[in-house]
Amino acid sequence: MRALLVSLVVVVLLALCPLGCVTPPLVMSGGAGCLELGPRRLAWGASPVDVRLASGEHLRGVWVPAGPDAPLVLHFLGSSGSVTIPQSAQGLSFDIDDLFGALRERGYASLAFDYRGVGASDGERDPRQVPEDALAMWNEALRRVDGDASRITLRGMSLGTLALASLLERGAAPARAVFVAPVRAESAASNWVRDRHGAVAAWFAAPFFARPMRVDLLAALSRTSASLFLALGSRDALLTPSERRQVAELAAARGAQVLELDLDHLRLVHAGYTPLEFEPLAAR
């Protein structure tokens, strides 16, 4: 019996080994190797942005202006999101230009980059680099508003909520922080396995999932002085029900606006490619 149990464990772990390459919140491949502005972006007066990191690698992205002294939204995309081309998954289309355009109509400029190893940016994909990428993006956003952080809204989706949280943990002080489909670095991978392969597989696999980045979502929500806005999915498997309650209760205690939608993770991210009803993004 013991030998049978050991064999079962080995088989399960061998079957799950490849999952470490694809489970969130890892940085996944996406986008194209070159950045094209396209007709809509050209009509908006958009321009490419290039930020050089201390490593010598370059992050590449897009700047969409919205007039003098416009407030700025700095976007942190999900694990396979890119500013280069629209993405698609499970029949859904994810086009960041839709979000840029909607925000511009409301008087908000946008700044967004690909993470290292994604789309037009240099380097290899590695979630441990995301906090440093986020810091470089934040510094570029500050430069574009003459150092006035009160003009900046940080907006993260899925993996991007951890990039956002990493900045709040560092002491960044934007006017607002918008979390769409937030995840926790310490549990998203095991939650993903639980949803697709069951609780037993998740229990066996949990010791083999290293925490992909040292970011504490709950600590970031607790410490920031920024106005907080969260969109949660009641069917989002990347947060357990207890984690979702914990996040919602902590956010509410901080005076945050919390919107809960009857959506799974992917569809909640898809909804986030347009401004959500609770976001403080009114026309100027």
Does 67 fall in a domain? yes
* The pLDDT of residue 6 is above 80: no
Does 162 fall in a domain? yes
Q: Which carries the bigger pLDDT value, residue 9 or residue 92?
A: 92
Does 2 fall in a domain? no
- Which structural domain range is residue 252 located in? 27-271
* pLDDT (0 to 100) of residue 183: 95
* The pLDDT of residue 7 is above 70: no
Domain count, the chain: 1
* pLDDT (0 to 100) of residue 19: 38
Across the chain, mean pLDDT equals 85
Strand partners, 88: 93
173: helix, coil or strand?
Answer: coil
Place of tokens 């010598």: 56
Q: Going by C-beta distance under 8 Å and a sequence separation of 6 or more, which residues neighbour residue 146?
A: none
Does 8 fall in a domain? no
Q: What is the CATH number of the domain that holds 107?
A: 3.40.50.1820
How many whole angstroms separate alpha carbon 158 and alpha carbon 182? 5
The number of beta carbons lying within 10 Å of the beta carbon of residue 39 is 8
Alpha-carbon radius of gyration of the chain: 19
* The pLDDT of residue 209 is above 70: no
pLDDT band at 197, cuts 50/70/90? low
Closest CA to 209 of 194, 220, 226: 194
Tell me, rounded to whole angstroms, the distance of Cα 117 from its chain centroid.
Answer: 15
Cβ pair 84, 32 in contact under 8 A? yes
Q: Which amino acid is at 110?
A: S
How many whole angstroms separate alpha carbon 110 and alpha carbon 154? 10
71-111 confidence digits (pLDDT tens) = 999 999 998 889 998 888 888 889 999 999 999 999 999 99
Q: Average the pLDDT over 3-25 and give the result.
A: 41
pLDDT band at 251, cuts 50/70/90? very high
Tokens of 207: 């010791």
DSSP code for 264: -
* pLDDT (0 to 100) of residue 16: 42
* pLDDT (0 to 100) of residue 182: 96
Does 11 fall in a domain? no
* pLDDT (0 to 100) of residue 23: 41
Does 211 fall in a domain? yes
Does 279 fall in a domain? no
Q: Average the pLDDT over 62-67 and give the result.
A: 96
The full DSSP string for 231-262 is EEETT-TTS-HHHHHHHHHHHHHTT-EEEEES
Does 168 fall in a domain? yes
Task: Enter the pTM of the model.
Answer: 0.87
242: helix, coil or strand?
Answer: helix
Q: Average the pLDDT over 187-216 and give the result.
A: 63
How many whole angstroms separate alpha carbon 193 and alpha carbon 276? 29
